[in-house]
Chains A and B, each alone.
Chain A
Amino acid sequence: MSGLVLRGVGAGYGGTPVLSAIDLAVPAGTAAAILGVNGAGKTTLLRAISGLVPPSGTITFDGAILSGRSPEAIARRGIAHVPEGRGTFSGFSVEENLRIGGASLARGEVDGAMDRVFALFPALAGRRRQIAGTMSGGEQQMLAIGRGLMLRPRLLMLDEPSFGLAPKIVASLVETLATVRAREGLSLLLVEQNLVALEGLVGEVHVLSRGRLILSAPPQDPAVREALRAAYLGA
């Protein structure tokens, strides 16, 4: 099966399990979200996929086994992970941030990939020389997505992209992600706490609670809200 497939995946830190028995799939070209309260294991799930924490079980991407590979090898296979807090290289210029994102490309491909990012985010094009740390939160989020796209990924994973952004900015971010997905033909996997922002963007949501997947359903399904409410109330 093409796309991302997790079978019986678990992960943890120093012997303390955080996730267990996760089965989920993100078929090629689709968009999905992982929802859940703080501490449910959402970030750990992304970190297991990108190899930052070693997973148990099997993770495959377009048929190739990812589990056991290093994060840099997984990135080179076409999975871009924009981590919690965006991972901006704040002392570096916008252009340097994008060039870092393109580290896995052949030398001759970097400028072309950068032009594509600037076409998607014209606001960044005029700020090539600006130090990334001096930009607003919304601009830094665009830069982080642009950095991820520099990998020419087939799957883009974003950890709480709406964090710290005003609702209006979140709305335009969702619009941008929809455009990116259509134009680049990639899959999206987002981690969020807030369903409202994502409803029009993703086709499926996976609700995590205490390290387990408790529901996979379309975002409109009333069971999703029910599961989230139960999770927040600690049921």
Chain B
Amino acid sequence: MAGGWGSVVVLLQQVLTGLATGAVYSLLALALVVIHQTTHHLNLAQGEMATLSTLTAWQLLSWGVPYWAAFAVTLALSFAGGAAIQRLVMHPLRGGNALVQFAAMIALFLLVNSVTNAIWGPNARAFPSILPARPLFEGAPISGQRVGIILVGGALVVVLYLFLRRSRLGLNLRATAANPVPARLAGIAVDRMRMIGWGIAATIGAAAGMLLAPIVTLDPQMMFNVLPFAFAATIVGGVSSPLGAVVGGLVIGVVEALVTIYAPALGRELKLSLLFVAILAILLVRPEGLFVRRTGARL
């Protein structure tokens, strides 16, 4: 490369590609934050739940349901499924110790994974994208697919942010997470809030899965390589900060894309190791995350 315009385009291309993947990490990270905020669980099964949702959407599409109808039905089914998992699995374990709950998360992870394997088998499937895969316009540095991910992902983040910050239900969800006993004493039905929290997280995960599926391989292992990045995003941002999760996801997506092109020698395996070295460093220096003020106040 003789530098100049060509290398600027490559850089731009990688940043935009990274932002699209990062938007998916952000959404999944946001789902993790919502569950952690309402129930103090770190949902290990979040990725598997998203895969199950995405395969459900694929099934609806293969039956001839139009794209946006399948999208909406999948979101609704995912909400109900997430709420049901909270009610049937996590709620009965609420008094148990952290180890029991952790074991339940692992069981849930394996259970959902085996369900998707049992129903759909290990084969890869094609999943349509919102916008066509060709470049957005002649010579554009980004494909239509990725523009769709950024637009829809960005819109979902904004809607979710406004919901949590401005709506009455959002306030009650945050109050339940922050201080459940005084929340109950104020008449807030905290058990219902926790169900809603899991439902919302499952819905966000479903959206992330459906956005991601066209640019990766849709099979039961789709999220194996994605969830670590979402966890990384929550750790970078702080597990109690929705804004941090979003920024964390975008940063990790962009860094990943830049490393791929400028340091190809690292390869996939080393890239993951470096990511986790960075996470450990953040945990050592700022265990509360980069986006949570030391006072404990949330951005």
Contacts and interface: CB of A to CB of B under 8 A. Distances in A.
Nearest to B298: A91
Contact of B184 (A52, A80, A133, A151): A52
B296 A91 contact: yes
A50 B181 CA distance: 11
Contacts of A101: 186
A107 B185 contact: no
Contacts of B179: 87, 89
Interface stretch (B26-34, B147-155, B166-174, B200-208): B166-174
B168 A72 contact: no
B93 to A, nearest CB: 17
B297 A133 contact: yes
Contacts of A52: 181, 184-185
Given A89-B179, A90-B296, A99 B171 contact: yes
B188 interface: yes
B175 interface: yes
A71 B185 contact: yes
Among A88, A89, A90, max chain B CB count under 10 A is at A89
Interface in B153-204: 168, 171-172, 174-175, 178-179, 181-190
A133 B183 contact: no
B295 to A, nearest CB: 7
Nearest to A96: B171
A96 B186 CA distance: 13
Contacts, number: 73
Among B168, B185, B188, B189, max chain A CB count under 10 A is at B185
A81 B183 CA distance: 11
Nearest to A90: B296
Contact of B178 (A89, A99, A102, A131): A89
Contact of A151 (B181, B186, B190, B298): B186
Contact of A72 (B171, B184, B296): B184
Contacts of A50: 185
Given A75-B186, A100-B186, A103-B187, A83 B181 contact: yes
Contact of B183 (A70, A100, A131, A151): A100
Given A92-B175, A99-B171, A100-B171, A87 B188 contact: no
A72 B187 contact: yes
Interface string B71-105: 00000000000000000000000000000000000
Given A52-B181, A89-B178, A103 B297 contact: no
Interface string A59-99: 00000000000111001100011110001111110001001
B298 A72 contact: no
A72 B182 contact: no
Contacts of B184: 52, 70-72, 75
Given A50-B185, A99-B171, A133 B178 contact: no
A104 interface: yes
A42 interface: no
A107 B167 CA distance: 11
A72 B188 contact: yes
Nearest to A107: B168
Nearest to B296: A91
Contacts of B295: 133-134
Nearest to B179: A89
A83 B186 contact: no
A104 B178 contact: no
Given A107-B168, A133-B296, 9 more contacts: A52-B181, A52-B185, A72-B188, A88-B182, A89-B178, A91-B297, A100-B186, A104-B187, A151-B187
10 contacts: A52-B184, A72-B184, A96-B171, A100-B182, A100-B186, A102-B186, A103-B186, A103-B188, A104-B186, A133-B295
